[in-house]
Amino acid sequence: MELLTVGWMVIEAAVAVASGIAARSITVIAFGLDSVIELASAGVLIWRLSSELRLGEVSEAAERIARRAAGGLLFALAAYVVAAAGWSLRRGAGAAFSWPGLVVATLAIPIMLVLAQRKRALADRLSSRALRADAVEAIACLWLCLVVVAGLVAQLLAGLWWIDAVTSLAIVFFLVKEGREAWEADEEDD
């Protein structure tokens, strides 16, 4: 399951970041950077699960470090989004519409739904808190995708310059929520 997540996240991150930069879209760039953070989290989970299988022991220290790093990166991304959105609104200039951003965010909706369901089922079978947390991240990504798609469709239909900045501020909620969950999970382990 994690290898499928990694494969999709590589595509999602590359398309979203590149198309977001091309369109100067804060929303699409933030979506892509969140995918990079989730990609790193999936990589750590793969490493951790393979270590556990190989060594027969759980590395709580590795998970703690990974969760703190992911949480910190999510908080930093949220700060970037707020600053970039504020700058865009202050300048009175918005982003160009991004077809690739819309396509990748739309494709991500059913993909993240299936991944979340399968990860949750596997987490229950393995009694894995780490895999359950990864399933929750997939659900958060699903909601993030819905926000991105709604913002891009509104931008396409209305053509208002400020829609990208406002939509990006809605993404901050999900970034902070994911970051806080990473930190709180770490504190629960202490």
pLDDT at 59: 65
Q: What is the pLDDT of residue 154?
A: 94
The whole-number pLDDT of residue 79 equals 92
- Residue 68: predicted pLDDT: 79
The owner of tokens 């970051």 is 179
Kindly report the CA angle at 11 between 139 and 68, in degrees rounded to 5? 50
Global confidence as pTM: 0.82
Count of other CB atoms within 10 angstroms of residue 74: 26
Q: Which residue has the tokens 């659900």?
A: 139
pLDDT digits (tens, 9 = 90+) for 55-89: 766 667 766 776 777 788 889 889 999 998 999 99
Summarised one tens digit per residue, pLDDT across range 36-60 is 988 887 887 787 777 777 776 666 7
Give the pLDDT confidence score for residue 60 in this predicted structure: 72
What is the rounded distance in angstroms from the CA atom of residue 84 to the CA atom of residue 26?
7
Q: What is the pLDDT of residue 123?
A: 83
Rounded to an integer, what distance in angstroms lies between the CA atom of residue 106 and that of residue 156? 14
Res 187: pLDDT: 61
Give the pLDDT score at 32: 94
Neighbouring residues of 180: CB distance < 8 A, sequence distance ≥ 6: 71
Can you tell me the distance from the alpha carbon of 92 to that of 3, in angstroms, rounded to the nearest whole number? 42
- CA gap 19, 32 in Å, rounded: 9
Q: In which residue ranges of the chain is pLDDT below 70?
A: 56-59, 62-63, 66, 186-190
Q: What pLDDT score was predicted for residue 7?
A: 92
Nearest to 134 by CA among 52, 18, 43, 59: 43
Other C-beta atoms closer than 10 Å to the C-beta of 87 total 12
Neighbouring residues of 107: CB distance < 8 A, sequence distance ≥ 6:
none
